[in-house]
């Protein structure tokens, strides 16, 4: 499938700090693409570079096969975006706010405001002012504003930031609807992997300005492993005992309580006894399937970072 946005060798330097280091990504049309990574990994900088809100030091960005030209405004008309917390007038309603933005951005389509508000589940006739919106309503108005001109691509920076669990589900459903029923391509960033795992088709893991991996979610799910989790009184001692007793045990220390041993295991009983015989308390043993969060931790070498 052709990429609607392609990034090649994107590098961004702030004086002596390398915020993006040779990033290459392919964002396919009609899909939800997740940029995942910890705070400060470089996700926003990638998005801002696509939008011309910051200028890369090196590298190229292609929109629908054409090299990006930051001076060519038409090229950006296929993109709608929400970067950072949406800024709206606090004393105006949802409709009044969008009327202003429609005017500023030259959106003339008659029903654009009703359509956008309807898509995100906000009442276009409500007089409720922005100041009394819930966080979820504010985020939804931000998305409505981003889709006002019916763009093909939506770029949303942490759209579930600060939302309660219900708000997160609402935003997630809106994004799925926009992608599946309105054929929008959505680039979304998040540092909370469990929030994004359920909706993305493709993902890139970003860490310290680099792409650790770019893959389809389906491929990654196929690589999820089963593991046995041991909650113990002393992880350091446990790791030492395991190292001494097993030549090639695939395990990872999660935190100061948990060790995970990968693979379907008939060794559980033996490992349990081994730990206990070495004076380690074993509080809990469970066998589980990996999640995206686990996968990312493994990719970055556990919690050491």
Ligand X SMILES: Nc1ncnc2c1ncn2[C@@H]1O[C@H](COP(=O)(O)OP(=O)(O)OP(=O)(O)O)[C@@H](O)[C@H]1O
Footprint on this chain of ligand X (rule: CB under 6 A):
14, 17, 19, 37, 39-45, 158, 191
Minimum separation from the CB atom of position 3 to ligand X (A): 21
Least Å distance, CB 210 to ligand X, is 12
Report in angstroms how near the CB of residue 105 gets to ligand X at its nearest. Answer: 25
CA angle 227, 229, 231 (to 5 degrees): 170
State in angstroms the smallest separation of the CB of 26 from ligand X. 19
**Least spacing, CB of residue 194 vs ligand X, in Å:** 16
**In the complex, least distance from residue 84 CB atom to ligand X, rounded to whole angstroms:** 8
To ligand X, the closest distance from the beta carbon of 191 in angstroms equals 6
Instruction: Tell which residue, 203, 185, 208, 198, has the closest CA to residue 301.
Output: 208
Judged by CB, which is closer to ligand X: 53, or 131? Answer: 53
Q: Measure the CA–CA gap between 1 and 181, rounded to whole angstroms.
A: 19
Three-class DSSP category at 31: coil
Which residue, 8, 2, 7, 27, is CA-closest to 216? 27
Q: Which one, 64 or 191, has the nearer CB to ligand X?
A: 191
Rounded to whole angstroms, the Cα distance separating 9 from 124 reads: 43
Which residue lies nearer to ligand X by CB, 156 or 232? 156
For residue 196, count CB atoms less than 10 angstroms from its CB and return exposed for 0-12, middle for 13-18, buried for 19 or more. Answer: buried
- For ligand X, which is the closer residue by CB, 34 or 280? 34
70-86 as b/e: b if 16+ CB within 10 A:
eeeeebbebbbbbbeeb
Q: Report d(CA 256, CA 53) in Å as an integer.
A: 42
Length of the chain: 305
Q: Calculate the CA dihedral of residues 265, 266, 270, 276 and round it to 10 degrees.
A: 40
Residue whose CB is nearest to ligand X in the complex, by number: 44
3-class SS of residue 52: coil
Residue with smaller CB distance to ligand X, 157 or 170? 157
CB of 17 to ligand X, least distance (A): 6
**C-beta of residue 94 within 8 angstroms of C-beta of residue 145:** no
Choice between 48 and 140, CB closer to ligand X? 48
Nearer to ligand X, 175 or 241 (CB): 175
**What is the closest distance, in whole angstroms, from the C-beta atom of residue 134 to ligand X in the complex?**
22
227: nearest Cα among 242, 246, 247, 249: 249
Please name the helix (run of DSSP H) or strand (run of DSSP E) that holds residue 80, with its range, or none. Answer: strand 79-82
Nearer to ligand X, 145 or 189 (CB): 189
How many Cα atoms are found within 13 Å in the side-chain-facing hemisphere of 124?
14
Of 48 and 260, nearer to ligand X (C-beta) is 48
């Amino acid at each position: 499938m052709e990429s609607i946005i392609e990034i090649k060798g994107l590098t961004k330097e702030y004086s002596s700090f390398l915020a993006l280091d040779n990033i290459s990504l392919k964002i396919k049309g009609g899909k939800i693409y997740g940029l995942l990574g910890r705070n400060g990994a470089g996700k926003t900088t990638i998005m801002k570079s696509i939008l011309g809100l910051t200028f890369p030091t090196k590298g190229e960005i292609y929109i629908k096969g054409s090299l990006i030209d930051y001076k060519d405004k038409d090229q950006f008309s296929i993109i709608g975006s929400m970067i950072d917390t949406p800024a709206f007038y606090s004393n105006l309603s949802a409709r009044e706010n969008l009327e202003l933005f429609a005017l500023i951005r030259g959106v003339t389509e008659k029903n654009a405001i009703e359509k956008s508000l309807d898509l995100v589940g906000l009442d276009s006739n409500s007089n409720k002012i922005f100041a009394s919106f819930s966080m979820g309503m504010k985020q939804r108005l931000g998305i409505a504003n981003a889709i006002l001109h019916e763009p093909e691509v939506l770029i949303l920076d942490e759209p579930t930031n600060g939302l309660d669990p219900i708000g997160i589900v609402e935003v997630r459903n809106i994004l799925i609807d926009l992608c599946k029923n309105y054929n929008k391509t959505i680039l979304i960033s998040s540092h909370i992997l469990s929030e994004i795992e359920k909706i993305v088709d493709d993902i890139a893991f970003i860490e310290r300005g680099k792409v650790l991996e770019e893959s389809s979610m389906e491929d990654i799910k196929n690589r999820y492993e089963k593991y046995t989790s041991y909650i113990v009184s002393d992880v350091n001692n446990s790791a030492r005992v395991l190292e001494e007793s097993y030549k090639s045990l695939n395990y990872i220390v999660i935190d100061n309580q948990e060790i995970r041993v990968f693979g379907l295991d008939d060794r559980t009983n033996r490992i349990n006894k081994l730990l206990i015989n070495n004076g380690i308390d074993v509080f809990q043993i469970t066998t589980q399937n990996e999640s995206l969060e686990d996968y990312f931790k493994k990719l970055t070498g556990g919690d050491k970072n």
